[in-house]
Amino acid sequence: MQTPKFSTSRVVADRDPHSRRRFLRNSGIGLAAAGLFLTGCEDDDDPIRMGDGVNLGTGDIGVLNYAYALEQLEAAFYAAVITGSYYTGSATSEEEDILGDLEAHERAHADFFKAALGSSAIPALEVDFSTIDFTDRASVLGTAQAFEDLGVSAYNGAGRLITNPDYLVVAGKIVSVEARHAAAIRSINSGSPTAFANSQVVDASGLDVARTPSQVLTIASTYITTSIDFSGLPQ
Amino acid sequence: MKLLSVFNQFEALANNETRDKATTRREAFTTLGKTLGKAATIALPLAAFMTPNRVAAQSSGDTVIDVLNFALLLEYLESEYYQTGLSTDSLLTGDTRETIALISQHETAHVEFLKTAINGAGGTAIDKPEFDFTVGGAFDPFGDLPTFMVLAQAFEDTGVRAYKGQAVNLMGNKDVLTAALQIHSVEARHASEIRRMRGSKGWITSDNNTTGVDAIDAVYNGEDNITQLGLDAVSITDVSRDRVTEAYDEPLSKADVTDIAMLFLG
C-alpha cells in the first residue's frame, strides 16, 4: 500500500456514507466540488467515496474490498429475507434453519472484512432489492441461489489476484462455506437430487465456475446501486 | 511393488511439506505477474498450464506437481469409493443413487483432469493405490448405506480441507491455483449435500464430528478456530460463536490429510 494522499480526518469523514454528499448538497456547490474531488482521487489507492460511488482500491486491499462488497450484498439480502413474510410465514422449518444460518454467516463475513480492512474498508454500499419479492418463496430462494453461486465464482476467480498468502487462506476458508450454502439452497430450491452441483455450475471437467471481478460486478450491479470503481484491482 | 511405491511417494510428499512451503513462498514472489492474462486462462485453465514453457518459468516445477499428485491421491480415493458403491447391488437407489452418481462423475473427472495436468506439466502422475474402505474390516460401507454415507461425508469434508491447505503452495502458478479452487468449491458442494442427506447441517459447527464415528475425529480437528487474520472473528460481530465457526472452513496440512488417507490404503 502506498501512503494515502488524504489526511486521516478526511478519510474518516468519508466513511459515513451520507456525510460528504449531504455536505455538498447543503453547501450548494455539489457539482463543482464533485469534479474537483474526482480529480483529486486519481492515482490514489485508498478506497474512498468518489461522488456517489466507491473505489475498491488497489492490490490485496482492493481484492479484500471486492470481497467485502459482495459480502455486504449478501448480508443485506438475508437481513431483508428474515424480516420478509415468506421467511416469517410460509417457510418450512428446514428453509428457516438454512436461511437463518446463511444470514448469520454472511453477516459474520461482512463484519470480519470491515474489521480486517479497518480504515481501508469501503463504506456501506446502497442496495436496491425492489425486484425481489420477499413474500415469495421462489423469488427469495432463486435470488439466494444466484447470490451464493455468484459468490463462489467470485472467490474462485479472485484467488489468483491475491499476493499475500494469509489473505488467500482466508478467502479459501470463506469460499467453501459459500459453496456449501449454494449447494443447500439449490437443493431446497429445486428438490432435485442433482441440483446442488449440476451442469449449470460444474463443467465436464468437474470444475466450478470462476468469474472475473468485472463479470461479477456487472451481475451484482442489478442490486448494488452504489457505483463501484474496481479499476485498481490487479489484472 | 506398485502399492509400496505409491505409499513411498506419498510419504515423501508428506515429509517434504516444510521444504515445499519455503520453495513455494519464494516462487510466489518471483513468478507473480508472469502468467497469462486472466480472461483466457480462467476459461481454459488446463490448456494454459499444460504449456511446457510456462512450467519451465517456475523456479521449481516439482512443487506444483507434488501438490497435484497429492490431490490426485484423494481424488483416486473418492472416485473408487463412489464407483464401488454404485456398482454394489441394491446399496444405492432412487434419489440417493442420482446424487452419488453425480458426485462420482465429478470425482472421476477430477482424476482425469489432474492426471492430464500432471503429465502435461512434465510430471508423472502417481498410480492409483489399492484402497481398503473397510479399514481392515472395521467398517462395512458397501453393505450398509448409513456407513457408506458416513465415510462419504468424511472424504468430502477432508477433501475441502486438503485443497484449502494447498492453495498457498500453488500461488506461483495462477492457472493451477484457479483450477484447484474450482475443484475445491465442488468438493464443498458435495460435502454440503452429503451432510444434509445424513441430517447434518451442510456446514461444520465448531469441531463437531457429526458422523458418530470417533475414529475420524481428525477430519474435524481445528474446525473450531475463530482467529482469522489475527482477529477474534467472534468479538467483532454479534453473530454467535457457533455460527462464526460455521462461517469459516479450516485448512488441513498435507501431513494431517495423509494420516487420514492412510487409514484407507490397503
pLDDT in tens, B156-166: 999 999 999 99
| Predicted pLDDT at B54 | 32
CB contact under 8 A, A197 and B193: yes
Mean residue pLDDT of chain B comes to 82
| Predicted pLDDT at B16 | 42
pLDDT in tens, B194-231: 999 999 999 999 999 999 999 999 999 999 999 999 99
Q: CB within 8 A of B83, min separation 6: which ones?
A: B104, B108
| Predicted pLDDT at A47 | 52
pLDDT in tens, B19-77: 333 333 333 323 222 332 233 333 333 333 333 333 322 333 348 999 999 999 999 99
Other C-beta atoms lying within 10 Å of the C-beta of residue B82? 24
Name chain B contacts of A235, Cβ cutoff 8 Å.
37-38
DSSP state of B265: B
Lowest-confidence range among A35-49, A209-223, B68-82, B168-182?
A35-49
Name which of B25, B164, B171 is nearest A176 (Cβ-Cβ).
B164
State the residue for C-alpha cell 442489478: A222
Residue of A nearest to B24 (CA): A165
C-alpha cell at A161: 489476484
Query: B214 vs A95, B11, B159, B217, B219, CA distance in Å?
Result: 30, 25, 19, 5, 10
* High-pLDDT (> 90) share of chain A, %: 77
CB contact under 8 A, A157 and B238: no
Judged by a CB distance cut-off of 8 A, whether residue B8 touches chain A is no
DSSP state of B61: S
Lowest-confidence range among A193-202, A226-235, B18-27, B204-213?
B18-27
State the residue for C-alpha cell 425492489: A130
State the average pLDDT over residues B226-243.
98
State the average pLDDT over residues A199-223.
98
Beginning with the edge strand found earlier in the chain, give each strand of the sheet holding A53-55 in spatial order: A49-50, A53-55, A227-229
C-alpha cell at B99: 446424487
pLDDT in tens, A27-59: 333 333 333 333 333 344 455 545 679 999 999
Give, for B90, the enclosing helix (H) or strand (E).
Answer: none
Separation of alpha carbons A145 and A76, rounded Å: 15
Name chain B contacts of A177, Cβ cutoff 8 Å.
188, 203, 246-249
Assign 3-class secondary structure to chain A.
CCCCCCCHHHHHHHHCCCHHHHHHHHHCCHHHHHHHHHHHHCCCCCCCEECCEEECCCHHHHHHHHHHHHHHHHHHHHHHHCCCHHHHHHCCHHHHHHHHHHHHHHHHHHHHHHHHHHHHCCCCCCECCCCCCCCCHHHHHHHHHHHHHHHHHHHHHHHHHCCCHHHHHHHHHHHHHHHHHHHHHHHHHHCCCCHHHCCCCECCCCCECCCCHHHHHHHHCCCECCEEECCCCCC
Name chain B contacts of A182, Cβ cutoff 8 Å.
189
C-alpha cell at B127: 498410480
CB contact under 8 A, A169 and B164: yes
| Predicted pLDDT at A145 | 98
How does residue B234 score in pLDDT terms, banded at 50, 70 and 90? very high
CB contact under 8 A, A181 and B192: yes
Q: Is the pLDDT of residue B169 over 70?
A: yes
**Contact B23/B60 with Cβ under 8 angstroms?**
yes
- Taking alpha carbons only, the member of B114, B203, B105 closest to residue B153 is B203
Identify the burial level of B226 via C-beta atoms within 10 angstroms of its C-beta, where 0-12 means exposed, 13-18 middle and 19 or more buried. middle
Separation of alpha carbons A95 and A82, rounded Å: 11
CB contact under 8 A, B186 and A202: yes
CB contact under 8 A, B239 and A111: yes
Residue of B nearest to A111 (CA): B237
* High-pLDDT (> 70) share of chain A, %: 78
Separation of alpha carbons A193 and A186, rounded Å: 10
Checking DSSP bridges between strand A227-229 and strand A53-55, what pairing results, if any? parallel
Q: Is the pLDDT of residue B183 over 50?
A: yes
pLDDT in tens, A124-180: 999 999 999 999 999 999 999 999 999 999 999 999 999 999 999 999 999 999 999
Give, for B237, the enclosing helix (H) or strand (E).
Answer: none
Q: How far from each other are the two terminal CA atoms of chain A, in whole angstroms?
A: 17
* High-pLDDT (> 90) share of chain B, %: 75
